[in-house]
Amino acid sequence: MLTTPKVAVDVIVFTVREETLQVLLVQLKTPPYAGLWAFPGGSVPHGESTEVAATRYLFETTGVKDVYLEQLYTFSNPRRDPHGHVVSVAYVALVNRARMSLRVPGKCDNIDWFPVTTPPTLAYDHAEMLEYALQRLRWKLEYTNIVYSLLPRDFTLTELQRVYETILDRPLDKRNFRKKMLSLGMLHATPRMVKVGAHRPARLYRFRHRTPMIIEVL
């Protein structure tokens, strides 16, 4: 009998693909949740911080590092895991949609992206985690620059707007959006234009800082 709960982390990895907000899930293969899906994650060994553990699990499944990773909340209900009392520190990561080679963790059967609106049945209390993570993501999108972590280095304002619209799940006014983004001073116009299709080329922009910041008025 343990005298303290076990400690674990779960990483809720979001990306935007094909104008859909998607979340990364692994398929469990051991009872009682065999066949169900869950967030990547696992136990935190003695001596490792939860940040480091979350970064490690993120890397093991996606091969990415240096993306936005934020602690979300700690879930500690003693019955959240039927195996025993596991306190899980949940993290949210935002990764961009570039092709990445997913790796199936040993203890899982599969790994894949799912639209957040239509996820498969989730194990543990992961449905609750997902809901909370979405809420926080939408909330923080409005007053921080964290969207940088979902986009490639260079992007057009229309692409940026699509990402906002996808996550917030509502249309935004083009002129107001551009005015706002540019006036915040967090973007940097490059001299390059992107020419695709039979229409006017779009200017490429970059984030001035690819590191999380609260948006201040200029």
- Contact pick of 64, 100, 141, 202 for DNA (by CB under 7 A): 202
216 binds a second copy (CB under 8 A): no
| Residue 173 interface partner, choices a second copy, DNA, none, CB cut-off 5-8 Å depending on type | DNA
Amino acid at position 164, single letter = Y
Give the chain's largest Cα–Cα span: 69
- Contact pick of 17, 65, 77, 121 for a second copy (by CB under 8 A): 77
Cα dist from 94 to 25, 26, 152, whole Å:
14, 17, 12
To the nearest whole angstrom, how small is the minimum distance from the Cβ of residue 30 to DNA?
A: 47
3 binds a second copy (CB under 8 A): yes
To the nearest whole angstrom, how small is the minimum distance from the Cβ of residue 152 to DNA?
A: 15
55 binds a second copy (CB under 8 A): no
- Contact pick of 30, 76, 158, 183 for a second copy (by CB under 8 A): 76
| Residue 101 interface partner, choices a second copy, DNA, none, CB cut-off 5-8 Å depending on type | none
How many Å apart are CA 194 and CA 202, to the nearest integer? 5
132: helix, coil or strand?
helix
Sign of the alpha-carbon dihedral angle for 122, 126, 129, 133: negative
Could you tell me which stretch among 42-50, 92-100, 109-117, 165-173 binds a second copy (CB under 8 A)?
A: 42-50
How many Å apart are CA 142 and CA 165, to the nearest integer? 12
How many Å apart are CA 207 and CA 160, to the nearest integer? 11
100 binds DNA (CB under 7 A): no
What are the beta bridge partners of residue 187?
Answer: 207
To the nearest whole angstrom, how small is the minimum distance from the Cβ of residue 173 to DNA?
A: 5
**DSSP H helices in 147-218:** 157-168, 174-184
How many Å apart are CA 20 and CA 166, to the nearest integer? 6
- Contact pick of 46, 99, 170, 199 for DNA (by CB under 7 A): 199
217 binds DNA (CB under 7 A): yes
Residue 149 has a CB neighbour count (10 Å cut-off) of 22
121 binds a second copy (CB under 8 A): no
Binding footprint of a second copy on the chain (CB under 8 A): 1-7, 43-51, 71, 73-74, 76-78, 84-85, 87, 89
Binding footprint of DNA on the chain (CB under 7 A): 156-158, 173-176, 178-180, 193, 195, 197-203, 217
